[in-house]
Amino acid sequence: MILLTLKSGAIDVPEEVVQGNSLEEIRQEWALKLKLLPEEITLEVMGKPGLFSRKWKVRLIWADQILQALILTPSQAIWDETKYVFVLGEGVKRVIPFAQAGEVWVNGLLQDKPFRVSLGDEVEFRPLVSVGLLTWELQVRHQGLSVVAKVRHEPPGHYIIPKDLPALEEIDLAQFASWDSLPGQSDGWDEARLKVDLEQLKVVHGLRPESWREILAVKGVDEVVIAEATLAVPCQHAQLEDFVGDPHVLSASDEEKIDFFASRVKLVKEGAVLARKIPGKPGVPGEDVLGKVIATATFKDFQFRLKKNVHLSADELEVVATCAGQPVRLDERTYLVDHVYVSHTDVDLATGSIEFPGDVFVNGNVQDGLRIYAGGRLEIKGSVSHAEIRAETGAKIYQNLLGGKIVVGEKFVVRSELLSCVSELRDQLSVCLRHTAELIKSPGAVNFNPGQCLKLVMEKQFPELPKLSNRVEKFVLEHENDEMVTEGLIVSARTAKHFLAGLGPLELQALPFLQRVDQALEQFVENKSLEIPEKISFVVSYVQGATIECGGSFECQKGVYNSDIRVEGDVTIEGVCRGGKIIAGGKVSIRELGGSGVSSTFVQISQKSRLLVDYCHPNVIIAVGKEIIHIEEACQKLVIHRENGRVQVEKLRANPL
């Protein structure tokens, strides 16, 4: 923003705020508005940009006589068979040449920019005359995919100016010059010349019969495609159609073999199709204009890999289940069917611990010291007492949980955090590189090299990017044994840290390498995001003295006492939560929090989360990110969240319970 004070001896002009970036820009802009030459305007600097203001304050001064009313009379352009001689009328102050139409001379000097004229100046216009011309320049483009002729076709003629010109203060020749065609024979090339030129370029394929007609139709300068390659027909790779995600409802006859509780498992029947291959087609090679073969991509086919309880159909295009059970897709092409494990009795010393790669359903209790590991979902109809429970895709305990350790979605926790930090790095790096490219192209950055532009953008807009790249590299290396962490991701993380930290942005290869990292991270996120389960949850009726880790949401239908709970998603406790610790990544909703006569209760939520408590006792500690809030007296309708960068605490004074 620039503050201008406009001043003249005859006119009182008020102050006005206008857009501008420099004194030269101000001079050019107001010269155009006042119809003056820039050198006729004087800028008196009253204030320069400083630390607390980016504004210029200047006084704009010009001669009074420029603004006085002028008496304008018409002008004339007299043709002497070789040039036009202008008889300028009174009031004409400026002439704007039109270089495309010809040359303008003033008092024997050639003028190529707008100029002022005075009474008595000799102004001449020497129009451009063309005898007619047809030429071209042939170019082989896109590595032989086409031949293009840059055609120049000028008909004979010259520019003319009308004899009488209106009374104007400024004469712009572009408004009055027009082309006048003249009879004559064009001096141009013919179709035979075109054939000779094509032979010299060794063009032997894809000639367009209509190209000569299009050349003759060109007026002025244009491009005409002379020859085009025959493009290769791309191959159609074999594709996979997967059906593992589609559950099949059990029939009525199966209910006699599996009890009602276990029948809620998502199973497939014998003979169900788990996956289908759609056959592809090889491609057809093409030919460029120089006769070279354009190869097609190598046709990609695949074969299914079969594990237990599956077989191929007769045409080898479908994977079919040989028994009812849980379908499992180990990787892109490998399938198997696992039977669902169902226990109709308590899990105790008589049955022993359970380890199963699929879903596990227990229609009883789990006793002290036992262990259950479910590679899928786990449901326990009864209670669990001081046992170790692990379930990858979700768990539900219908009754009480007393002591022990529960881990739900362990693999998802790691992969979710991996995708989250890689996505955050990709998003910030992508925007940083885009802003850097814009800065490099800007006029103000002509004295900076690309590395300096990158460093400047990072310092001003992305100061946390070096720390983020360091955190991503550390996390990736810590979990490099996870099948989701590829060698390419490790290289990308190390490269990002090297060129984003310290003096890395100033290195010569920083921008090219970071652009490759950005592409690699984007491809990783797109390819890996679908492998993460959409929702993981742990539901329990009552919890006391337990340690819980969950990669999704946690829900307790009654109460939680003196337990250590860490949850990636939302937490819902419909009853009382007293003592212990809750750390949640999502929203936390609790009916009654804390209690008198018990140890302090601690709840931590993320920066973007929200805590809602119907009734909160004193001696409760709430953490929002790194900010700590102590609840020292009872309250109702407690709501804690972060808004506009500040933690907001809303509550009502509580009535004694």
Rounded CA gap, 242 and 53, in Å?
62
Output the pLDDT for position 365: 95
Q: Which of 41, 52, 50, 51 is nearest to 4 (CA)?
A: 41
- The CA–CA distances, whole Å, from 531 to 242, 555, 629 equal 14, 25, 38
Of the pLDDT bands very low, low, confident and very high (cuts 50, 70, 90), residue 367 is very high
Q: Which distant-in-sequence residues (6+ apart) come within 8 Å of 62 by Cβ?
A: 8, 34, 36, 40, 41, 42
pLDDT digits (tens, 9 = 90+) for 84-108: 999 888 888 899 999 888 999 999 8
Decide if pLDDT at 561 tops 70: yes
Residue entry with tokens 């009916």 = 591
Output the pLDDT for position 9: 40
Decide if pLDDT at 427 tops 50: yes
Output the pLDDT for position 379: 93
Decide if pLDDT at 11 tops 70: no
The mean per-residue pLDDT over the stretch 71-80 comes to 86
Output the pLDDT for position 621: 93
Of the pLDDT bands very low, low, confident and very high (cuts 50, 70, 90), residue 534 is low
Does residue 489 sit in helix, strand or coil? helix
- The CA–CA distances, whole Å, from 379 to 64, 262, 396 equal 92, 9, 5
**Percent of the chain with pLDDT strictly greater than 90:** 26
- Phi, psi at residue 70, to the nearest 5°? -115, 145
Rounded CA gap, 31 and 43, in Å?
12
| The pair of three-digit structure tokens given for residue 656, joined into one six-digit string | 């004694």
Decide if pLDDT at 3 tops 80: no
| The pair of three-digit structure tokens given for residue 360, joined into one six-digit string | 């596990």
Q: Which of 643, 555, 579 is nearest to 607 (CA)?
A: 643
The mean per-residue pLDDT over the stretch 2-31 comes to 57
Rounded CA gap, 630 and 632, in Å?
6
Decide if pLDDT at 307 tops 70: yes
The mean per-residue pLDDT over the stretch 15-28 comes to 67
Q: Which of 411, 412, 432 is nearest to 521 (CA)?
A: 432
Yes or no: say if 162 and 77 are a contact pair by the CB < 8 Å rule: yes
- The CA–CA distances, whole Å, from 196 to 143, 201, 490, 519, 655 equal 21, 9, 57, 46, 101
Residue entry with tokens 């973007």 = 608
Pairing label, strands 94-96, 170-172: parallel
Decide if pLDDT at 382 tops 90: yes
Decide if pLDDT at 490 tops 50: yes
Q: Does residue 446 or residue 278 have the better pLDDT?
A: 278
Yes or no: say if 337 and 322 are a contact pair by the CB < 8 Å rule: yes
Q: Which distant-in-sequence residues (6+ apart) come within 8 Å of 527 by Cβ?
A: none
Residue entry with tokens 């370029």 = 201
Burial track 602-629 (b if 16+ CB lie within 10 A, e otherwise): bbbbbeebbbbbebbbebbebbbeeeee
Decide if pLDDT at 474 tops 70: yes
Output the pLDDT for position 532: 45
Rounded CA gap, 370 and 366, in Å?
7
Mean pLDDT over the full length of the chain: 82
3-state percent breakdown (helix, strand, coil) of the chain, nearest 5: 20, 40, 40
| The pair of three-digit structure tokens given for residue 579, joined into one six-digit string | 């003592």
Output the pLDDT for position 96: 92
Euclidean distance between the first and final Cα of the chain, in Å? 61
Rounded CA gap, 107 and 124, in Å?
8
Of the pLDDT bands very low, low, confident and very high (cuts 50, 70, 90), residue 40 is confident
pLDDT digits (tens, 9 = 90+) for 639-649: 998 888 788 98
Decide if pLDDT at 563 tops 90: yes
Output the pLDDT for position 18: 54
pLDDT digits (tens, 9 = 90+) for 151-198: 888 777 888 999 999 988 889 999 999 888 776 555 568 888 888 889
Q: Which helix (H) or strand (E) holds 518?
A: helix 510-528
The mean per-residue pLDDT over the stretch 480-493 comes to 84
Dihedral (CA of 275, 281, 282, 285) sign: negative
The mean per-residue pLDDT over the stretch 53-73 comes to 63
Output the pLDDT for position 568: 84
Name the least confident of 120-129, 240-249, 255-264, 465-474. 255-264
Yes or no: say if 294 and 287 are a contact pair by the CB < 8 Å rule: yes
Yes or no: say if 386 and 451 are a contact pair by the CB < 8 Å rule: no
Yes or no: say if 2 and 55 are a contact pair by the CB < 8 Å rule: yes
Residue entry with tokens 């990709």 = 426
